[in-house]
Amino acid sequence: MAELFMILERKRVLRFAAFWALAGSCFAGESAVLITGFRIHADRHENDGAVVRLYANGGVTEFAASQIAGFEPDEQVVKPAVLQSSVPVSPEELVTAAANRNGLPADFVRSVVAAESGFRTNAFSIKGAIGLMQLMPATAREYGANPQDPKQNVEAGTRYLRDLLWKYRNDDHQVSRALAAYNAGPGAVDRYHGIPPYRETLAYVERVLRKYAKQTAASKRAKPSAD
């Protein structure tokens, strides 16, 4: 499985805040389709030679132009002016929303949650991991989240996953190392210069990647083909 997953940081929010205040409603949404099959939502994009910049949610993500297969417009949905529904949001909806906010493929984050907790909001491990994304208390504190709140748990876990992908952005095995770090900790990955030889971690990485491959294939089959 190709692991070209060049996810770069969104650290320029303040620099672009004024621009987005003026231009936020001027661009239609779109999806960047990567050569790996990943789809990244963006409000707009810019081509700058060998670099493509995707703008979304007040931040910017950079990709090598060679990693972008193309762009497809998102369907525009007009939200009716109604009071917010009191219907509880499902774990799947929480995960999809967090993935979109953080610029990660929803199928990928769903595959991590499936492996971590099976989408059980009340999941606890004997090691002390909590909730949908099995956050350790120290990680939850680092991201300012209450791990027992499903929405905060998923948001913090998705941000942590994104940060790990950024950490290993220059590695040929970026995705598998990020997954191993999510499971065993980045210290173990750095110490072994790759996936630690732990049976649990090896099985975890394989399980998530296999699940993600199935999710991606199913999404492609479900998408109507163009006539």
Residues annotated catalytic, as ranges: 116
Contacts for 174 with CB less than 8 Å, ≥ 6 apart: 3, 4, 5, 6, 165, 168
Angle at 119 between CA 54 and CA 108, to 5 degrees: 30
Angle at which helices 150-167 and 91-101 pack, to 10 degrees?
40
For 19, 23, 42, 60, the CA distances from 16, given in Å and listed in that order, are 5, 10, 15, 9
Partners of 54 in beta bridges: 45, 61
What are the backbone angles phi and psi of residue 61, rounded to the nearest 5°?
A: -125, 135
Give CA–CA dist 86/67, Å, rounded: 41
